[in-house]
Structure 1
Amino acid sequence: MKYLVVSDNHGDRKILVDLFQHYQGKVDYMIHCGDSELPSSDELWQSAYVVTGNCDYDAGYKKNQLIDTGQDRIYVTHGHLSNVRMGVTQLGIEAQTNDATIVLFGHTHQIGCEKVGSRLFLNPGSISQPRGPIQIKSYAIIDSTPEAFHVQYYNREFEAIPDLAFTFAK
């Protein structure tokens, strides 16, 4: 299964249109981790899973989503309600409660990817406003196989970032 994960475009609708068109038919799921600043009724969301962020004021968004792909259980939240700026402890408890194998979040605008126990935690960074030491406008693709999670980060030009590729055994 291939999952495209993007977050924090902050009103830049065009980049989402470009991403979704580029990956249509190439990934199994498109997932947005919040702070789109777009209406929850936007037609883009017909082909994607999306959650609310602290800058999304449309009440039509869900706070979190659990996606069961048949291979993985993906817990998606923006992270502001889980205090991710202080670490992933609370997020880990939420993931455990939902028996998630993959945990996706945004909010910090910083790329992050680690496996804790049997769970993959991933922040795709921000596609529009990166923060922290890695100043690349980014998104990620997770290629989940029965044996491993293969994670590759990309820039806005759909180019793989060589130093940001990871494999974690399941």
Structure 2
Amino acid sequence: MGILVVSDSHGLVREVAQVADRHSVDKILHCGDFCVDHKREPFSRMTLVRGNCDATSEVPVEQQTNWRDLHILQTHGHLFGVKSSLLRLHYRAEEVGANVVVFGHSHVPACGVERDILFLNPGSLQLPRGFDVPTYAIIEETGVTPKTVQVAVTFYDYQGNVVRDLGGSYSIRR
């Protein structure tokens, strides 16, 4: 099993529920701009962070989640200027000891490792940018050594089809 990561659904409910129900995962992380009542299904069963378009102050702007050998920093990204650079987000990841960072805001699906930390933006379920279709992602831990963790990131389109142009296998620090 793994972790489902979605972001920037901007008011979609039925579609988010379909994505959440489609996969058997241990956790579901939403990286903000859900733009609906966070207590409503399926959002009530997700770990949420508040985006720049979310009105509730009951949802934090940042979360940290430990799962297996992953220490995940989750944020929307707008407070870290992710549309221009990941540097501030990288500093925050170093501060909290994260080896995975999940974020949204730009609506651009992306995944890569920088200084042994995995940075993952699942894209947007509502308004994709930089890619033809709405996307989301699943992270799976595939192996562990004393110093590294191997993870696989699979991107899917909104209908649940694997997007082969995105994602891959990565080695990050433990």
- The bucket for the TM-score relative to the shorter chain is over 0.9
Say if 2:156 and 2:163, in contact at 8 Å, map to a contact too: yes
Residue pairs, 1:1-170, within 5 angstroms: 2-23=2-23, 26-132=24-130, 134-145=131-142, 146=144, 147-170=149-172
Deviations 1:83-136 (A, max 9, x none): 10111000001111110010000000001111011210000000110012x122
Mapped to 2, the partners of 1:160 and 1:75 lie a distance apart of 25
How many residue pairs are counted as aligned between the two chains? 167
Q: How well do the aligned residues superpose, as a CA RMSD in angstroms?
A: 1.2
Q: TM-score with structure 2 length normalisation?
A: 0.91
Secondary structure of the residue aligned to 1:16 is helix
Mapped to 1, the partners of 2:72 and 2:167 lie a distance apart of 20
* TM superposition shift of 1:71: 1.6
Say if 2:116 and 2:171, in contact at 8 Å, map to a contact too: no
Report the identity percentage. 34
* TM superposition shift of 1:149: 1.3
* TM superposition shift of 1:54: 0.5
* TM superposition shift of 1:74: 0.4
Q: Return the letter of the residue paired with 1:97.
A: E
Q: TM-score with structure 1 length normalisation?
A: 0.93
* TM superposition shift of 1:46: 3.3
Say if 2:31 and 2:104, in contact at 8 Å, map to a contact too: yes
Mapped to 2, the partners of 1:155 and 1:14 lie a distance apart of 15
Ranges in structure 2 where 5+ consecutive residues have no aligned partner: none
Q: Return the letter of the residue paired with 2:42.
A: L
Does the C-alpha gap of structure 1 residues 165 and 83 become closer, same or farther in structure 2, counting only changes over 3 Å? closer
Q: Return the letter of the residue paired with 1:68.
A: N
Secondary structure of the residue aligned to 2:58 is coil
Q: Return the letter of the residue paired with 1:106.
A: G
* TM superposition shift of 1:19: 1.2
* TM superposition shift of 1:152: 0.9
